[in-house]
């Protein structure tokens, strides 16, 4: 209730007071040459529309005020004038041509991804982004970082609520970066307002887009095509760095990437105990699986199957690992073999087999997963 | 074959009073009865779709998830859109067409009266199926009213089958309704009622009916492909089998764009009847109004991909669709200018129908301007799938189509009932609606420009204040519509009796030749039109 | 306007529209459930669907029965007849647009989707990254994910079927001429031949499908080629079936002595419909089979 009153006050006050909330009320000019051109176009058309509006509504309100019956106006009898009608057909047409010319120029520039310095493949899937750098050996997933408690209001919402990811995309400034957009399942759309880049990620096709970022910084966007239940929870975060910082970052990443691969091998020999498996498993589950199968394992009937008491989670271990590693083609169940490490898959399988009253007692180890993966 | 003899028996008294009881409505072939049923049905759907909008606005009142699950939210958005488009606006126009066209052209009834009844009665069943699917396991349609594949195929709940078939029968209903309108206009005009004498409402509906017959079958085709992709292993929209998800969008929008003009052309006709009536001056530029309507309809077939600028079409295609889309502003502008010119040096008075008509002109034009902005491809990349689009289409649909329907109801209510509505209450309805509709939809422009995507149940913190205002506007607008219901019921139950022509400046056969309350069978013998 | 304006016959209340609405309701919901229950044990959806079909058939009999009776008892005027004709023309136009959607899908697949998957236009990377093995040729006998099939040639059955349908259009025209001249004998004969040709077409079409499924591996789910092939020819086949049924009814009515040289809207509508179905086939033959 107090909030309502607060808002009514806000409503009555000027937009300037609202702006304190941190939202911009207009398009942002952004940080690329293109985005600034787009902003310019936006403002131009907006002003033209305002001008036309003033003329049209002006004439209308003039008539409303001066030609009203209560003031004794007597109706005129004209109802036609070819001359006037030609005028107001031709003038708007000319105005449109005036708008179309700069729009065409900007569009042609935007649609030319040739001569790129760096190429990144951007793949959407329900509900995360995957980035793969061409020319480097690096690829990773990028997931929403706000947690369920924030969303359901059990915990205060942090800054950048819903606009934070675990691993942002990192790009160099001043370089022409080409994006290859595609998708694993439904259509998503990769959008960063500050670059004026929004391109659909269509499954089975690759769309190209590009940008040259002028300033280092953190830029945030969101998925802009309805892609199912968690469409609203699929942010994009890009960090733009100076070239040398970028190179340094890339070197670190590559090292870490190699290291992880080696560790993966080492893990095969190790066995983890139940407590570790279950705690890692729960983490993985909540982050990667709960969106669909729900934290309580009960799924959403008719959309996402329950894992609690599910024949697969209680039945053959290999079949269970298999569906996690390879997913199930033609359903929302995606292949996690690439997204998760052997250890994580082992842990989450174990977790699913022992949580929510699924008391199989089975412990799955990294080598079991590797064995199954190796068979292919 | 006893039923035939039944028919023969009551055939004898069909020139007199309407039959009584429920069966009057179920079995009727009378265009006025059917028109009334369409209008009431439409209003019921408006409340249903509106209630879903209220769920949406309640959830969006604050950031975070409060009332509904994301999946259910998506169902609300989807079904809200579907119900408003197919259940509220289109049937309302068909209802108006049924009531008015025979009266306006001096015909005894619609050309195919039995089919008319069939078209109507399909609708309640179609929407029953659609609404029932919300209660199936897995929920109802959750893929947006545009049901893009593969979200509506591979990744959809099984209830999509019910959605598909309900759209099929809705389509059958619309096509039959449209055939009826077209045939009525072409074949049932009174002697002397030449095409260029038709009231503009009749003209706009003639063209709308053509659009309907041309595109509803395409919608039927595309839902059929959705069905086979989901259940019969085809891959129209699946690259793995040589198809393309974007193909879906092309076919859908080939239907979808003319569809949005289907929802506005009859409004143009209504406004073209009301503005002259209350300006006490003939409509300015009748002929150019007709040509403008036809041009809009023609252009509407070659602009569909402006909904798809971000799908990665080749740049030549983007340019083509941008230019064509921009062109639509020209004939639409002619209409707006002609309305203003009609008012110019008239003797204007401001009864409720006129108030709604004036609000329509201003607010529709604002919606048109944002449409033009969306048409500029490079900038649409920024606007697309944000609340800017939501603002655009609610301006043209709510303060456009819905306002014009309200205006029409107030304008013709005296002729329908023979009684006058309560002007004071109606003005209250107008002012409440006018203010709240702007509080509801104007700030959505800011949300969109600020970067809020559409179809999301939760949003980043910076959008909180504006969303809260929008929601308050929404609740206020919703409640305001209850006043409308009150006005109509009050008018039917106990309105003051009125005269044959309550509006001084109104023109047309229905005002000039028929008594205060249009008789059950308006023109059993056609009048001679000079 | 030199059109006559007599008293336009407005039928009184009728039960058939609501019966039709209920029928469509049963068909739509029944079909919906049937499809959902395809791979489950439950199968009650089919029963609802069938009941709907029965209701619609009953409606058609009742409704047309009324119309025929009204027509025979001279309630209709020339204006009324025009309404029916125009109504039928617009209905056929809507059917044209329905087929247009599927032809559109076919053209898009051939001219755009498949070439793009093979790297045409702005999709070089689509081919390079996602489908390096894929070859864009039409008919698409190997889909991007590797399903293979065979293309249906135009010689043989399809050609024979084309000849059959074209001939049937001509024979129907002769029947129509007979009708207009009130020559009942040739009317019956030509109409009968048309019917036989229609049946023959359907039989051969089934034959072709069996051949496609059993020997060629060309099925509804073998990629976009099979999809467009079966949906286009399938919907066409359904229309032919409907056309044959309508013509059969017309034949029976003619045997009963209905229609005159002046008044034969029912027959004319049926023949328009048949010619329309025939034209669709010619387009199909060119775009689905030959090209
Ligand atoms: C009644 C319905 C209606 C109407 C009339 C319109 C009218 C127009 N619409 Fe709109 N539109 C919708 C309903 C409608 N629209 C809907 C429902 C959607 C979203 C669908 C979805 O995705 O769910 C949509 C989306 C939509 C998009 C896609 C946005 C996106 O998703 O990215 C675009 C892009 O071009 C667009 C453009 C236009 C244009 C140019 C007009 C023009 O017709 C407007 C012309 C009018 C004027 C311009 C004003 C009057 C003219 C003058 C005063 C003359 C002088 C003016 C100038 C020369 C500028 N519309
Ligand atoms: C003619 C069409 C039409 C109409 C009239 C409306 C009317 C309204 N729309 Fe509609 N809307 C669409 C067509 C329409 N909409 C379409 C096509 C979409 C896109 C869907 C998609 O993305 O797929 C959409 C999407 C859409 C969204 C975006 C959802 C999203 O992206 O997630 C929102 C959000 O605010 C919204 C709100 C409203 C509101 C508040 C009204 C109000 O005007 C409604 C007012 C009416 C009532 C409220 C009913 C009457 C009153 C009562 C029943 C009494 C009870 C009232 C209270 C409890 C207050 N609509
Ligand atoms: Cu991904 Cu929306
Ligand atoms: Cu459009």
Look at ligand 1, atom 52, and give the residue with the nearest C-alpha: B333
Between B11 and B126, the more confident residue is B126
What pLDDT, in 10s, does the model give residues C107-133?
999 999 999 999 998 999 999 999 999
Average pLDDT, chain C: 91
Q: Does some domain include residue B516?
A: no
Residue B335 annotated to the active site: yes
Q: Does some domain include residue B136?
A: yes
CB contact under 8 A, C129 and A182: yes
Number of domains in chain C: 2
Q: Which residues of B touch A186 (CB under 8 A)?
A: 148, 150-151, 154-155
Indicate the angle between helix axes B70-82 and B31-59, nearest 10 degrees: 150
Number of domains in chain B: 1
Residue A67 contacts by C-beta under 8 Å, 6 or more apart in sequence? A73, B279, B343, B344, B345, B346, B347, B348
C285 and C156 inside one domain: yes
Which candidate, B263, B260, B272, places its Cα nearest to that of B300?
Answer: B260
Between B507 and A268, the more confident residue is B507
Atom of ligand 3 lying closest to residue A228 CA: 2
Q: Does some domain include residue B170?
A: yes
Instruction: Provide, rounded to the nearest whole percent, the portion of chain A with pLDDT above 90.
Output: 57
Look at ligand 1, atom 22, and give the residue with the nearest C-alpha: B307
Question: 3-class SS at B307?
Answer: helix
**Which ligand number lies closest to the CA of residue B267?**
1
Sign of CA dihedral A170, A172, A173, A179: negative
> Is residue A343 over pLDDT 90?
no
Indicate the angle between helix axes B200-231 and C78-108, nearest 10 degrees: 40
> Tell me, what's the ipTM?
0.94
What pLDDT, in 10s, does the model give residues B360-418?
999 999 999 999 999 999 999 999 999 999 999 999 999 999 999 999 999 999 999 99
Q: Could you check whether the bond before residue B150 is cis, i.e. omega within 30 degrees of 0? A: yes
Distances (CA, A) of B380 to A196, A204, C157: 10, 24, 51
Q: Is the CB of A225 under 6 A from ligand 3?
A: yes
Q: Does some domain include residue B186?
A: yes
Residue B250 annotated to the active site: no
Distances (CA, A) of B302 to B222, B251, C6, C226: 18, 12, 42, 29
Q: How far is B223 from chain C (nearest CA, A)?
A: 11
> Is residue B11 over pLDDT 60?
no
Centre of ligand 1 from the C-alpha of residue B371, in Å: 3
Instruction: Provide, rounded to the nearest whole percent, the portion of chain A with pLDDT above 70.
Output: 93
**Phi, psi at B135, each rounded to 5°:** -100, 5
CB contact under 8 A, A208 and C117: no
Q: Report yes or no: B166 and B131 within 8 Å, Cβ to Cβ.
A: no
Name the band, by pLDDT with cuts 50, 70 and 90, for residue B17.
low
Domain boundary among C76, C107, C138: C76
> Is residue C157 over pLDDT 60?
yes
Centre of ligand 2 from the C-alpha of residue B80, in Å: 6
pLDDT of residue B529: 82
C2 and C132 inside one domain: no
C234 and C104 inside one domain: yes
Q: Which chain B residue shows the shortest CA-CA distance from C25?
A: B125
Domain boundary among C35, C53, C76: C76
C139 and C5 inside one domain: no
What pLDDT, in 10s, does the model give residues A187-237?
999 999 999 999 999 999 999 999 999 999 999 999 999 999 999 999 999
Q: Which residues of B touch A59 (CB under 8 A)?
A: 340, 344
The span from the CA of C47 to the CA of B490, in Å, is 46
Q: What are the structural domains, with CATH classification, of chain A?
A: 33-110 (1.10.287.90), 118-263 (2.60.40.420), 268-374 (1.10.760.10)
Q: Does some domain include residue B442?
A: no
What pLDDT, in 10s, does the model give residues A303-342?
889 998 888 888 888 899 999 998 888 788 988 988 888 8
What CATH number is attached to the domain comprising C58? 1.10.287.70
Beta-strand ranges (E) seen in A213-302 are: 217-223, 235-241
Q: Choose among B188, B190, B220: nearest Cβ to C98.
A: B220
C33 and C112 inside one domain: no
Q: Which of B261, B395, B421, B503 is catalytic?
A: B261
What CATH number is attached to the domain comprising C105? 1.20.120.80
Question: 3-class SS at B132?
Answer: helix
* Tally of CB atoms within 10 A around A167: 14
pLDDT of residue B415: 94
The span from the CA of B138 to the CA of B51, in Å, is 21
Q: Report yes or no: A332 and A259 within 8 Å, Cβ to Cβ.
A: no
Residues with CB under 6 A from ligand 1: A 49, 52, 56, 92, 95-96; B 146, 260, 263-264, 306-307, 325, 328-329, 332-333, 336, 365, 368-369, 371-372, 374-375, 380, 383-384, 389, 392-393, 396-397, 400-401
**Total-model pTM:** 0.95
Atom of ligand 3 lying closest to residue A201 CA: 1
C164 and C199 inside one domain: yes
Look at ligand 3, atom 1, and give the residue with the nearest C-alpha: A188
* Tally of CB atoms within 10 A around A58: 11
Average pLDDT, chain B: 93
The span from the CA of B56 to the CA of A9, in Å, is 23
Residues belonging to chain C with any Cβ–Cβ distance to chain A shorter than 8 Å: 116-117, 122-123, 125-126, 129-131, 144
Element (H, E) at A201: strand A197-201
Q: Which residues of B touch A331 (CB under 8 A)?
A: 154-155
Q: For Cα atoms B144, B148, A303, give the angle at the middle one, nearest 5 degrees.
A: 70
C266 and C176 inside one domain: yes
What CATH number is attached to the domain comprising B64? 1.20.210.10
C167 and C85 inside one domain: yes
pLDDT of residue A375: 56
Q: Report yes or no: A199 and A179 within 8 Å, Cβ to Cβ.
A: yes
Q: Report yes or no: C289 and C152 within 8 Å, Cβ to Cβ.
A: yes
C54 and C148 inside one domain: no
What pLDDT, in 10s, does the model give residues A257-281?
888 878 877 777 778 888 888 999 9
Name the band, by pLDDT with cuts 50, 70 and 90, for residue A19.
very low
C110 and C221 inside one domain: yes
C121 and C260 inside one domain: yes
pLDDT of residue B500: 92
> Is residue A153 over pLDDT 70?
yes
Q: Report yes or no: B255 and B167 within 8 Å, Cβ to Cβ.
A: no
The span from the CA of A279 to the CA of A24, in Å, is 42
C267 and C283 inside one domain: yes
Q: What domain range includes position C189?
A: 77-290
The span from the CA of B522 to the CA of B351, in Å, is 26
Rounded mean pLDDT, B117-130? 97
Sign of CA dihedral A279, A284, A287, A292: negative
Centre of ligand 4 from the C-alpha of residue A197, in Å: 22
Centre of ligand 3 from the C-alpha of residue B267, in Å: 35
Centre of ligand 1 from the C-alpha of residue A343, in Å: 53
Between C265 and B304, the more confident residue is B304
Neighbours of ion ligand 4 (CB under 5 A): B 257
Q: Which chain B residue shows the shortest CA-CA distance from C131?
A: B240
Which candidate, A76, A80, A58, A57, places its Cα nearest to that of A67?
Answer: A76
> Is residue B317 over pLDDT 60?
yes
Domain boundary among C29, C58, C76: C76
Q: Does some domain include residue B99?
A: yes
Q: Report yes or no: A281 and A347 within 8 Å, Cβ to Cβ.
A: yes
Rounded to the nearest angstrom, the gap between the alpha carbon of residue B147 and the centroid of all alpha carbons in its chain is: 19
Q: What domain range includes position B140?
A: 1-199
Q: Could you check whether the bond before residue C139 is cis, i.e. omega within 30 degrees of 0? A: yes
């Amino acid at each position: 209730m107090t909030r309502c009153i607060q808002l009514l006050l806000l409503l009555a006050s000027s937009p300037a007071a609202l702006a304190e909330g941190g939202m911009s009320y207009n398009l942002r000019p952004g940080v690329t040459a293109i985005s600034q051109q787009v902003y310019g176009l936006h403002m131009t058309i907006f002003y033209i529309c305002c001008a036309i509006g003033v003329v049209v509504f002006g004439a209308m309100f003039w008539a409303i005020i001066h030609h009203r019956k209560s003031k004794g106006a007597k109706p005129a009898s004209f109802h036609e004038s070819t001359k006037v009608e030609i005028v107001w057909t031709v003038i708007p047409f000319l105005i449109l041509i005036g708008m179309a010319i700069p729009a065409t120029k900007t569009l042609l520039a935007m649609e030319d991804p040739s001569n790129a310095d760096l190429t990144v493949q951007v793949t959407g899937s329900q509900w995360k982004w995957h980035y793969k750098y061409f020319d480097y050996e690096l690829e990773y997933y990028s997931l929403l970082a706000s947690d369920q408690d924030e969303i359901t209001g059990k915990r205060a919402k942090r800054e950048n609520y819903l606009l934070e990811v675990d691993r942002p995309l990192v790009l160099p400034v001043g370089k022409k970066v080409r994006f290859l957009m595609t998708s694993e399942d439904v259509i998503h759309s990769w959008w960063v307002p500050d670059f004026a880049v929004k391109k659909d990620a269509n499954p089975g096709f690759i769309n190209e887009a590009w940008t040259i970022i002028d300033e280092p910084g953190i830029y945030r966007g969101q998925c802009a095509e309805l892609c199912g239940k968690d469409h609203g929870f699929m942010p994009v975060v890009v960090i733009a760095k100076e070239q040398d910082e970028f190179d340094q970052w890339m070197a670190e990443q590559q090292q870490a990437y190699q290291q992880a691969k080696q560790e993966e091998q080492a893990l095969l020999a190790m066995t983890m105990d139940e407590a570790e498996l279950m705690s890692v498993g729960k983490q993985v589950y909540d982050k990667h699986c709960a969106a669909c199968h729900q934290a309580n394992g009960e799924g959403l009937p008719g959309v996402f199957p329950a894992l609690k008491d599910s024949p697969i989670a209680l039945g053959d271990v290999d079949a269970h690992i298999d569906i996690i590693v390879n997913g199930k083609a033609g359903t929302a169940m995606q292949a996690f073999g690439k997204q998760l490490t052997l250890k994580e898959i082992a842990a989450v399988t174990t977790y699913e087999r022992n949580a929510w009253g699924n008391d199989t007692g089975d412990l799955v180890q990294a080598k079991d997963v590797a064995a199954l993966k190796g068979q292919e | 074959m006893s039923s035939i003899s039944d028919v023969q028996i009551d055939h004898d008294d069909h020139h007199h009073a309407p039959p009584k009881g429920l069966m009057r409505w179920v079995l009727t072939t009378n265009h006025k009865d059917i028109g009334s049923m369409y209008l009431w049905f439409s209003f019921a759907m408006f409340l249903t779709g509106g209630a879903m909008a209220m769920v949406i606005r309640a959830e969006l009142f604050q950031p975070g998830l409060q009332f509904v699950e994301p999946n259910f939210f998506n169902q609300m958005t989807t079904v809200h859109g579907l119900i408003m488009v197919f259940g509220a606006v289109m049937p309302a126009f068909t209802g108006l067409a049924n009531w008015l066209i025979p009266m306006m052209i001096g015909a005894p009834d619609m050309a195919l009266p039995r089919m008319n009844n069939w078209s109507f009665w399909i609708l309640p069943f179609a929407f029953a199926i659609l609404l029932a699917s919300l209660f199936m396991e897995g929920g109802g349609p959750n893929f947006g009213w545009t049901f893009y594949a593969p979200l509506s195929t591979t990744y959809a709940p099984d209830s999509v089958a019910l959605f598909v078939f309900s759209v099929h029968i809705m389509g059958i209903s619309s096509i039959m309704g449209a055939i009826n309108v077209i045939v009525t206009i072409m074949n049932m005009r009174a002697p002397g009622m030449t095409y260029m004498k038709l009231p503009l409402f009749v003209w706009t509906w003639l063209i709308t009916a053509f659009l309907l017959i041309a595109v509803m079958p395409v919608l039927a085709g595309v839902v059929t492909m959705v069905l086979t992709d989901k259940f019969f292993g085809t891959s129209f929209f699946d690259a793995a089998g040589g198809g393309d998800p974007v193909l879906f969008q092309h076919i859908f929008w080939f239907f979808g764009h003319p569809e949005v003009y289907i929802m506005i052309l009859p409004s143009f006709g209504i406004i073209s009847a009301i503005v002259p009536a209350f300006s006490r001056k003939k409509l300015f530029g009748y002929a150019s109004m007709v040509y403008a309507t036809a041009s809009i309809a023609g252009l509407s077939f070659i602009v569909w991909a402006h909904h798809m600028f971000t799908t990665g079409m080749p740049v030549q295609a983007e340019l083509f669709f941008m230019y064509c889309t921009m062109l639509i502003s020209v004939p639409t502008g002619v209409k707006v200018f002609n309305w203003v010119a009609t008012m110019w040096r008239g003797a204007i008075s401001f009864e409720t129908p006129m108030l709604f008509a004036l609000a329509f002109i201003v607010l529709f034009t604002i919606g048109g301007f944002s449409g033009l902005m969306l048409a500029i491809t490079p900038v649409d990349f920024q606007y697309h799938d944000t609340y800017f689009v939501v603002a655009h289409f609610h301006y043209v649909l709510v303060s456009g189509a819905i306002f014009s329907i309200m205006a029409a109801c107030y304008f013709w209510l005296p002729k329908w009932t023979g009684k006058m509505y309560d002007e004071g209450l109606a003005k209250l309805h107008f002012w409440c609606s006018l203010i709240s509709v702007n509080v509801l939809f104007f700030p959505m422009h800011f949300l969109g420009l600020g970067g809020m995507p559409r179809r999301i149940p939760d949003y980043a913190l910076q959008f909180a204040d504006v969303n809260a205002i929008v929601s308050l506007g929404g609740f206020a607008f919703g409640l305001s519509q209850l006043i409308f219901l009150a006005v109509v019921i009050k008018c039917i139950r106990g309105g003051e009796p009125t005269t044959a022509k309550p509006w001084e400046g109104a023109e047309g056969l229905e005002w000039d030749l028929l008594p205060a309350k249009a008789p059950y069978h308006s023109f059993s013998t056609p009048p001679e039109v000079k | 306007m030199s059109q006559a304006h007599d008293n336009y016959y407005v039928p009184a209340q009728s039960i058939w529209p609501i019966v039709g609405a209920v029928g469509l309701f049963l068909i739509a919901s029944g079909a919906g459930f049937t499809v959902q229950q395809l791979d489950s044990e439950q199968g009650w959806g089919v029963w609802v669907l069938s009941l709907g079909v029965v209701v619609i058939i009953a409606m058609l009999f009742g409704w047309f029965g009324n119309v025929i009776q009204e027509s025979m008892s001279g309630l209709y005027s020339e204006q009324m007849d025009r309404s029916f004709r125009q109504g039928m023309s617009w209905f056929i136009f809507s059917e044209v647009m329905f087929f247009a959607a599927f032809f559109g899908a076919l053209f898009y697949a051939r001219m755009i989707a498949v070439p793009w998957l093979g790297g045409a236009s702005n999709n070089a990377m689509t081919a390079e990254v996602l489908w390096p093995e894929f070859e864009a040729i039409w008919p698409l006998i190997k889909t991007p994910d590797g399903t293979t099939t065979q293309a249906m040639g135009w010689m043989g059955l399809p050609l024979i079927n084309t000849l059959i349908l074209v001939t049937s259009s001509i024979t129907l025209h002769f029947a129509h001429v007979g009708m207009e001249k009130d020559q009942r004998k040739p009317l019956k004969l030509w109409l009968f031949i048309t019917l036989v040709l229609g049946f023959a077409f359907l039989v051969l079409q089934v034959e072709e499908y069996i051949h496609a499924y059993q020997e060629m591996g060309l099925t509804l789910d073998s990629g976009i080629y099979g999809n467009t092939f079966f949906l286009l020819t399938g919907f066409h086949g359904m229309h032919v079936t409907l056309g044959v049924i309508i013509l059969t009814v017309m034949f029976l009515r003619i045997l009963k002595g209905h229609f005159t040289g002046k008044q034969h809207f029912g027959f004319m509508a049926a023949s328009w419909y048949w010619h329309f179905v025939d034209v669709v086939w010619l387009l199909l033959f060119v775009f689905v089979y030959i090209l």
